[in-house]
Each structure stands twice: as C-alpha cells, then as structure tokens.
Structure 1
Amino acid sequence: MSGPQVAIDLGRIERNARTIVDRCALSGIQVFGVTKGTCGMPQVARAMLRGGVAGIAESRFENIRRLRDSGINAPIMLLRSPPMARIEEVVRTVDISLQSELATIRELSRIAERMGRVHDIMLMIDLGDLREGIWPNDLIPTVEQILALKGVRIAGIGTNLGCFGAIMPTEENLGQLVAHAYKTERLSGARLDWISGGASSSLTLLLEGRLPAGINNLRVGEAILQGGIETFRETPWAELEPDACRLTSDIIEVKLNPSRPIGQSGYDAFGNQPVFADDGDRLRAIANIGREDVLIEGLTPIARGVRVLGASSDHLLLDVTDAEPPPAVGDRVAFRMSYGAMLLAMTSEYVE
C-alpha cells in the first residue's frame, strides 16, 4: 500500500442489509439500498441485493451507468431530479425517479412518449426539511396536471427528512405523508406502488413501533454501509455491524512536539484561527491524508489512545501519546468514517 485506502467488508454490508430487510418485511416495507456513499460500486450493490433489498437507489448517472454496465439489472431508483439535458438517459436507464418539478415531469413525459414508454415517478412532498418537494397545499393541482400526461405514471409518493434541514421523521410528519398518498390515490383512482417514508433516519420509528401504517418503502444507505452509527446515536441497533467501510493511511512522521504552536498566531491555510491548549510535550504522528481527501471532522481512530488534532490539505495530525504500542513510521492507522467522511473519501482520486 502506498497511500490512503478504503477497505470495504462486503460480508458486513450483506448482513446489515439482510437484518434491515427482514425487520422491514415484518411491517410490509420494501427496502431500496442506497449505493451513492460508495460511488455506485457494483460489488456493494450486489452485496445489498444478496441481503434482499428490492432495488438500488442512486443519485449520479455515472454510478448508474457503472451499475448497468456491470450487469446489474435490478430496479434502480434515481434519487435526484435530472437536468433537462439528461432526461432521455433517465427514461432509458432507471425504473423510477424522484420528481418534484412540473417542468421536468412534463419533459420526462414527452421523451418517454417519443420512446414508446411510460416512466414511473415518485412525487416528492416537502414536509419541512426543505431539501426538495412540492408543498402539501400544491399536491392536488400538481397531481391533476401530471395525470393529464401520457408518458409518466405516479408510482409513488415520498419525502426526504433528516438531510438539509435536519428535520427528523416523526409519527406526525410521516402520518401526513400517508394521508397525502391516500389523497393521490383517490384522485387518480389507482393504488400507489410506493409510499416512501424516507431514509435510514426513519428506522428508529420502525424499531419503536411508531412508523405510521401505510408506509411501504424506505431508501437505506447509512444503516447498511455503516451499521447505523449515525442513525442510532443513543441506542445502537445491536444486530447491525459497524465498520463495513474503514479508512487506513500511512504514518509518515512520529515526533515528540510541543502541543501548542510557537510564534505569532494568524490564520491557517483554510482561513481559520485555531486555538490550541498547552498540554506540554506530546508524541505526535502525521498520516498521509488531509482535507483534500476526506472530511477530517468525520474521522474516529479505531486504535485506543489515538486522537485527531487537525489537518492541512495533505497532512493529518494525530496525538499518539497514549497509544499502546505507539505507532512507528510505516505503520498503518485505521479510522471509522462518518457518512460525510465516507462520501468524500470515496470520491477522492487520491484514496484507493
């Protein structure tokens, strides 16, 4: 190994998927496995499918193309509305897409009709997180206009929570989603395939028995890829396995150094004015990874006695005074990653 590397345990991913799928099935819920955290790696998608997910959910066309080129023919859900220039690719490569903008839906219908197809959409409703979706007051007129289009079918109603606005799923807001779905069914005269109650963050309600009846789909990534370390912060789901994705990097320097920089303090390379406590001399190590590669704040060293101090663009500084045994130059150091850290590490061309 010559640089930072993400190691992926496909067995853990498969087992986590199976645990979640089996529990969801007891409540009549089908799971789509979200692979965007690993850039749509076909190996990860196959592990999720072996674990029983009903389909794969992705946000990037490059990842979807990678999945299809690898021979994966499972249903694929597009998580992000496409630009107008790529609508034909949506109709051609995905089975259902999340939509909230009438102009895009009209173009999807036009292209699908031209291709002799009907494209399934999941109409997204904004229940307060403010990422995407139509307002509930606009549901009826929006559905009426979509029903007049011949090239698209409203296959589901969904929402996004716990993302941009950090608004968590509750019995109240997901109950509203179910009510909006029933309104849509009455208006269209057809039963919806999907009422999609969000992502990993909705699993807490499921385990507590408080997920509203009627929800039959969840889009799950973090809980499968990371064992729910961010979803279940206070009470972990014991059957889920963490550390399916680990980051490792090389130690390139180990020295006893003062804990507080010496000289006149100013701004660092990122425009910040850091403050350092004076803890005397400490054994410090440098790993060959930095802010150009990963979200440093999302790294947790796996070895005891190792603490992240900070980073420049290329260097990660660690306090290893309490590590047993202390690391040496050439050793590898391993980290758990937050979901944000995993996203950046997987997309960095400098991380294997």
Structure 2
Amino acid sequence: MTIQTNCINKTQYPMVTVNLKKLYHNAKITVDNCKKSSIKIAGIIKGCNGIAEVGRTMLDAGCIQLGTSRIDQIIDLKNSGMTDTEFLLVRIPMISEAEEVAMYADLSLESEISVIKAINKACSKFKKRHGVILMADLGDLREGFWNKHELTKAAIYIENELENIDLKGVGTNLGCYGSIKPNTKKMEELSDIAQIVESKIGRKLEIISGGATSSYPLVLNGTMPCRINHLRIGEGILLSYDLKEIWGLDMNSMYQDVFTLKAEVIEVKEKPTHPVGEIFIDCFGRKPQYEDLGVRKRALVAMGKLDFALDDKIFPRTCGVRVIGSSSDHCIVDIEDCSENIAVGDILEFDLSYPSLMYLTGNRYVNIRTI
C-alpha cells in the first residue's frame, strides 16, 4: 500500500536564522580594522558549514578569499555559481583528494611535500595552477613543519621543481589544539621564517598568514608585527563571542546575534530536579550528577545533542530560562524563574557559540534561513 502525504507549507524547527545585514556589519568592521595594519582577510566559513549567502556577504564586505576545511564545501559553492571566488582550503589536504583540490581550490595550507607533489601532478592533468601556504608549527602542535629547516627545503623545492605550484607564503595556526596564545613573539617568529624563505628563493612572499580569529586581538591592540599581512577569520566575524567572553575585548561595535537558534517547546510541567530511583548511566554512557532543588517548572524543547552537541554552548535569550540538560533529541530548560508564561508550541530563541553553530549548521534536520 502506498501512503500519500500532502506537502504542507510550514516553518520547520529547530531553525537557525542568519541576519546578513548584521553579518556584513561584522565583516566590514573586521576588514577595515585589519586594513589599517595592511592585513587582508580570508573569510572562513567552515564554522557555518559553508553557507553560500554567508560567503557572499563576507566577500561583499571586503574579504579577499573564502576559506573552509572541507573540499566538498568548496565544490558545492563553485557549483552554486561562485566561480570567480578565490577559495582557500584551510585543512591540510588528504593525498586522496589531490585531484579535487587541484580542480576546485585556488590555495591550500600545506605541510607535506608528498601531498603538494600529488596536487602538482593533478594540476598538470587539468591544466591548472595552485597556490600553497607552507605552515609552520610554532608550538600549538597541530599542523605545520616543526623543523624550520625542513620548511625552508620544501619552499626551495616548490619554487624550483614544481611547475604547477605557486609558493604564495608561509603561515601558522595557534590556539586550536594546544591552546597556545598568539602573541607578538610568535608572530615575530613567523616573520623570521618568512624572511629566511625569502632569502633562499630570492623574492618576497605574497602571504604571511598569522593565524585565525585568535590572532585578531593583536591587530586590535596594535601589537601585530608589520610583516603579518593575512589572517583567516571566521568566528570573529560570524559570532564575535570568543573575542568578548574569552579574550575580554570590548566588542560593542559588533553583533553577537548574527545567528539565532529557534526551537519549539513540546512539554511544560512541574517536576523534581533530582531523578527518582537508582542512578545508573545516561544515553551517552555517562553518570551525571544532579542538584536537588526541589520541584520546579521546566520545559522540553524539540532539539538535543544531535543538533547542538554541547548543553553549555547554547544560551537562552529569554530572561529566567536556563538549560539544565539534554538527551539526543530533547533539551530540558528550567523556566521556574521566567516571568513569561511559556507554553507548548512557543518558540524559544538561543544565542550560539562556535561549537554549537558548527554542529547545528551541519545537521540536515536543522532548517537554515537567511534574513
């Protein structure tokens, strides 16, 4: 038996809305601030999983490139009509995707000469050229050459031996794995590496890429060395949450509500705050601890860890609403102290941080809408 269903035109929750005017404002301020220090910006869109409208808005605001960590996102954006955009692949490419990188990405961050050789070979096949930025590991212990002599050797090899590869520059990444704070000393170390490479290849490098959003405070406080001329900024434009909450910077000129998570209430009840019975493990194999605050009013919201992953990375906008936990598909919020009368069917709004934005926009069950 075939069951037929009528297509109902309705709003689907959970939903993430993107305010493009506010996004443009954030991007323009960031671009203008960096321009004062002769720094150009690659707008990084991996945090929102490559939403095309976000990328276009960053370009309109003055970003010179778009960057993401997944070649599939670049392919999708190219196929959507963004054929004239310069795309930077910000994760070291897999050697197995060398042909896709050669065909679709204009530049990539690199740390393995075998991968660069494979891209060079693919470029020959497709009659393409590809730019590379050699990454130096300055202590964060993620990607990059640890031995600076090896980086210099790689630069000389690329410059002289690989006919389809353009050595665009050197770069680094800090703060993403080892939690190493970008500072003037680290940026000067990168500048020194650039100078050594330039002396060996006999020309100036086009790009000295000083990192991501975590390096942007050096621009704002005027301590970025003059040789740094490129940053890869995503979170600082998309949310500006980290710069305010972690770095303690005054971000009143920036919008922190470019992205809004909206989700529907599916139950409102008064219940105990401590589970009743023998506590074992939750659905994720953990044994949580609970504080007994007596019976309180709470609401179930139709979203869960499948959507946003981390309970402490979504922030209710309604005063008096507090996230107290979640399972795969349910989020539990305390509403006892909320002055508003929250009922089943109401839509609650949440601010986001980088992790929750990343998970939500990559989830096919979450509706993405630009406004």
**TM-score of the superposed pair, with normalisation by structure 2:** 0.92
Matched residue, 2:4: none
Q: 2:281 aligns with which of 257, 267, 270?
A: 267
Give the letter aligned to residue 281 of structure 2.
Y
Moved more, 110-119 or 272-281: 110-119
CA contact (8 A) 1:285 1:318 kept: yes
Matched residue, 2:76: 66
Q: 1:164 aligns with which of 168, 171, 177?
A: 177
Offset of 1:33 from its aligned partner? 0.5
Matched residue, 1:203: 216
Q: 1:212 aligns with which of 225, 230, 246?
A: 225
Deviations 1:306-347 (CA, angstroms, capped at 9, x unpaired) = 101010111100001111213110001111111011110011
Q: Distance between the aligned counterparts of 1:85 and 1:139, measured in 2?
A: 22
RMSD: 1.3
Q: Distance between the aligned counterparts of 2:158 and 2:14, measured in 1?
A: 48
Number of equivalent positions: 351
Give the secondary structure class of the aligned counterpart of 2:144. coil
CA contact (8 A) 1:291 1:313 kept: yes
Q: Distance between the aligned counterparts of 1:83 and 1:278, measured in 2?
A: 50
Give the letter aligned to residue 298 of structure 1.
K
Give the secondary structure class of the aligned counterpart of 2:260. strand
In the TM superposition, 1:102-181 aligns within 5 A as 102-135=113-146, 136-147=148-159, 148-181=161-194
Offset of 1:236 from its aligned partner? 2.9
Structure 1 gaps of 5+ residues are none
**TM-score of the superposed pair, with normalisation by structure 1:** 0.97
Offset of 1:250 from its aligned partner? 0.4
Q: Distance between the aligned counterparts of 1:305 and 1:256, measured in 2?
A: 16
Q: Distance between the aligned counterparts of 1:312 and 1:116, measured in 2?
A: 51
Q: 1:85 aligns with which of 93, 96, 101?
A: 96
Is the aligned partner of 1:341 residue 2:364? no
Aligned-residue identity in percent: 36
Give the secondary structure class of the aligned counterpart of 2:75. helix
Offset of 1:58 from its aligned partner? 1.4
Deviations 1:275-321 (CA, angstroms, capped at 9, x unpaired) = 11111111110000011111222111111101010101111000011
In the TM superposition, 1:268-307 aligns within 5 A as 268-295=282-309, 296-307=311-322
Structure 2 gaps of 5+ residues are 1-10
Is the aligned partner of 1:190 residue 2:203? yes
CA contact (8 A) 2:136 2:144 kept: yes
CA contact (8 A) 1:229 1:236 kept: no
Is the aligned partner of 1:254 residue 2:268? yes
CA contact (8 A) 1:32 1:57 kept: yes
Q: Distance between the aligned counterparts of 2:296 and 2:106, measured in 1?
A: 56
Moved more, 116-125 or 10-19: 116-125
Q: Distance between the aligned counterparts of 1:194 and 1:159, measured in 2?
A: 11
CA contact (8 A) 1:41 1:66 kept: no
Give the secondary structure class of the aligned counterpart of 1:231. helix
Deviations 1:72-114 (CA, angstroms, capped at 9, x unpaired) = 2221111112222321221221211111001101111222234
Offset of 1:137 from its aligned partner? 4.1
Q: Distance between the aligned counterparts of 1:278 and 1:31, measured in 2?
A: 49
